[in-house]
Amino acid sequence: MLTQAAANKSALLHPWRPGLWRMRLPQGRVMLAGVTDRIGGFDALRAQLPSIRRFVLAEQVHGAGLTSIETPQPPLERIPGCDALTTSLPGAALVIQTADCLPLYVWDPGQQIAALAHVGWRGLAAQLPVRLVSFLGTRYQSRPERLRAAWGPAIRACCYEVGQEFDARFPAWIRHDGTRRTMDLIGCAAAQLRAAGIRAGRITDAGVCTACDSPGERRGVILSERSESKGDTARWHSVRRGAQPEERLLSFIAIRA
């Protein structure tokens, strides 16, 4: 376990406002990023971010579609048919919803480009992290070695049990423990980012499992007092713990206006 001093120095995820956690992105001084917990919701997110003029949500079809947001539009918009969004517009927040899948933040500190992707196993099978890095290069001329990446709360190998069919899909990322079979979703995503050219030292892990996280000091995250919402101490929505379709974490990234 990290000491408090070490955690304060290295943590990616910090309590910020009621129901809202701040993602302090390395070399991301112009970026504003975070995630809601089970207490937070979209109305609260909008109310707590008065500097954000526009919220853009991906429809999320568990695919590998990407969309660039570069023209002013209404204050709230949902982009159909995509799981990843990019922008260079200040004051526009990219938003995705998750409840175990991986919220992948990617940004170009030099060019001030922001991207956010919803990555589940289908997205990994379609190489979404690789496609996102390639898209940033084509659309914005972002060089992979200058990009940074991070992820927020997501299900980890400790809890992500999968079926036998995953052995053929992700042979390098399946762990067997007796009859129990789990997948390292995060390890697979990190490998794809490295294969796309992002250096390992520029990829940051929040260190939080949505399925089993409990209050306390964890690698990559500083936790505040526990929440007693909905009758338990779980902090994050998780499908594996029975989250309903309307119960989702909201991850966002924006370039400061």
Spell out the per-residue pLDDT of the chain, length 257, in tens.
Answer: 233 333 333 489 999 999 999 999 999 999 999 999 999 999 989 999 999 989 999 999 999 999 999 987 788 999 999 999 999 999 999 999 999 999 999 999 999 999 999 999 999 999 999 999 999 999 999 999 999 999 999 999 999 999 999 999 999 999 999 889 999 999 999 999 999 999 999 999 999 999 997 443 344 555 544 444 344 568 899 999 888 988 999 999 999 98
Give this prediction's pTM: 0.90
Q: Please report which residue ranges of 27-181 form alpha helices under DSSP H.
A: 42-48, 121-125, 128-140, 166-169
Task: Give the SS3 label for residue 170.
Answer: coil
CATH number of 4-223: 3.60.140.10
Extract the tokens encoding 133.
């890095």
Evaluate the CA torsion angle 64, 69, 74, 75 in order and state its sign. positive
Domain limits, the chain: 4-223
